[in-house]
A and B are shown apart, each in its own frame.
Chain A
Amino acid sequence: MASEVYEPFRKGLPPLRKYWRTLWNRRAFIAEYSRSELHEQHFDSVFGQVWLILNPLLLSGVYFVLIVIIGGHSDTTRYGHLTACLFLFYLVANTLQGGVKSVTAGQRLILNTAFPRIMLPISATVVAIFKFIPTLLIFAILRTVLGLPVGWQMLWAVPIILITVIFSLGAAMLISCINVYFRDIANFLPYFTRTLLYLSPILWEASAIKPQLRKIELVNPLFSILDSWSRAVVHAQQPHGSALVIAAAWALGIFLLGTYFFLSREREFAVRV
């Protein structure tokens, strides 16, 4: 006979093996939740999709004009870099934006149903990935029009996207959990992402940075990710090994920290939301 045993957590963590098994069994929920979320935001309609692509495209246009005015000159590679990096940045920003309220918005479900709470930030990440996919297509068209170089090194995009997703998921778990304790974190988030945008090599190229400011490279997790991304998909060059290692280390670190933080706090959600 099926039997469930509920006992106090050891070291504040739920029994992990059982947790992952339950999570795997609920993968249909993640798919369905993401689908209904996209539906609710109208991203399954034609105009929703158009907006999804138009928004970062317009933004990159605005920034490009800005660069031309401030810098005095610019070229097609610069525009390609700007667009590609904005698209990847939006994957991170959308994950955080969707993830931050994922736990507090799931209040009713959390109070009434036993399920691995981690499903909520995971679903938010899946939604952001679905929003990211069409922009990849647009960039492929754009780089052909701009006549950017082509090469097998562009395949580095795959591991870089994977690193970005792991990083974003970790950050989403972290921030969704913090939002339970401080509900105004969601309001601070736009300032935070905006700052991150300017501190990342998006409007400027990583190679153009002054040596005195090189330290940004180490404290901004997106620095290495975006630098590698730009080399791979814009310049069709092999990314620096050191940048890839730093990016992977950041992603793994944030992911492990986020998972641990989330799992150790999850028990409290039902009494805190």
Chain B
Amino acid sequence: MSNSIHTTGDLAVSVQHLGLTYTTTIDRRPTLKSRLKSMGRGTKQTRVVRALDDVMLDVHYGSVLGVVGSNGAGKSTLMRVISGILPPSQGKVEVFGKVSTLLALGVGFSPSLSGRENVQLGGLAAGMTRREIEDHFDEIAEFAELGDAIDAPMRTYSSGMYARLAFSVAVTVKPDILIVDEALSTGDAKFKEKSLNKIKELRSDSRALILVSHALGTITDICNEVVWLDKGKLIQRGNPDEVVDAYAKFLHVGKSAAINEDV
């Protein structure tokens, strides 16, 4: 794990002509039985999704990039490509540094294991050493404010507890590049504020942050630059106020309270 401090302005992530197409099943739980039963009827079993189309994007160290867009615009897919979870279909993504992801589902391997075991397994899967995880563990547990619940099975956690633990893991391992994907919205007001402060603290630390959120207020508050994705295409990119304004107009909602609240 490289914990080198990068110089502000250095390139952190470079996304070039990125395209991503995938095939997915229409059934939520595809089975051989249903496939056999529908055989000969000619019904389609899969559909092809063009999730990203020729996306160009640079993220620099010392900056916070906001990503906005309607549901299904390809925001989460883009984050998964940058974190190496989904390989691209076209184009190229270069990442200069260690990425820590906090994607929509958060930490977690198995609900029957304790929070502690899940953090350890998740860390090992992400390529950390046992030592690195041990060194960070107390800090993670403390930030998440889970108390004794850290040793309870994760199936006993509330969604807020899940989110808190996930956020703590992502920010505590001191990533060069932090990706936060709508993960802040389940915490209570106090934790929300705490996590916002943490994000601001990381911002001043010459790291690169990518923040995906539907809370336009937070986006304009924190980000230096915003991109707007729609149906897999990059629509606009630039100054937070301008892009958020354009996006809000597109949504026909104007700047109402509903889009400023929440993170």
Contacts and interface: CB of A to CB of B under 8 A. Distances in A.
Contacts of A40: 110, 112-113
Nearest to B27: A183
Contact of A270 (B86, B112, B113, B130): B86
Nearest to A106: B109
Contact of A26 (B32, B89, B98, B125): B125
A1 B176 CA distance: 11
A101 to B, nearest CB: 11
A182 B109 contact: no
Contacts of A181: 25, 30
A188 B32 contact: yes
Nearest to A188: B32
A183 B22 contact: no
Nearest to A108: B108
Contacts of A22: 127
B107 interface: yes
Contacts of A29: 121, 124-125
A7 interface: yes
B85, B94, B99, B101: most-surrounded residue (chain A CB, <10 A):
B85
A105 interface: yes
A236 B109 CA distance: 45
B35 interface: yes
Contact of A36 (B35, B88, B103, B121): B121
A7 B127 contact: no
A183 B31 contact: yes
Contacts of B29: 183
B238 interface: no
Nearest to A14: B87
A271 B28 CA distance: 11
Contacts of B84: 4, 6, 114
A107 to B, nearest CB: 9
A114 B85 contact: yes
A1 B32 contact: no
Interface in B86-136: 86-99, 101, 103, 105-110, 112-113, 117, 120-122, 124-127, 129-130
Given A105-B110, A112-B103, A112-B105, A272 B97 contact: no
B176 to A, nearest CB: 8
Interface in B172-219: none
Given A26-B125, A36-B121, A109-B122, A1 B97 contact: yes
B94 A5 contact: yes
B87 A268 contact: no
Nearest to B29: A183
B85 A112 contact: yes
A4 to B, nearest CB: 4
A105 B111 CA distance: 10
Contacts of A9: 87
Given A9-B87, A112-B85, A115-B127, A33 B121 contact: yes
Interface string B19-53: 00011110001111101000000000000010000
A111 interface: yes
Given A2-B2, A182-B35, A114 B126 contact: yes
16 contacts: A2-B97, A5-B94, A6-B87, A7-B88, A7-B93, A9-B87, A25-B127, A28-B130, A32-B120, A40-B113, A111-B105, A113-B122, A182-B30, A185-B32, A267-B86, A271-B22
Interface of A: 1-9, 14, 22, 25-26, 28-29, 32-33, 36, 40, 105-106, 108-115, 119, 181-185, 188, 267-268, 270-272
* The 3 residue pairs across chains A and B that have the minimum distance between CB atoms: A114-B84, A29-B124, A182-B32
Given A1-B96, A40-B110, A270-B86, 7 more contacts: A3-B94, A29-B125, A32-B121, A111-B80, A115-B125, A267-B87, A272-B24
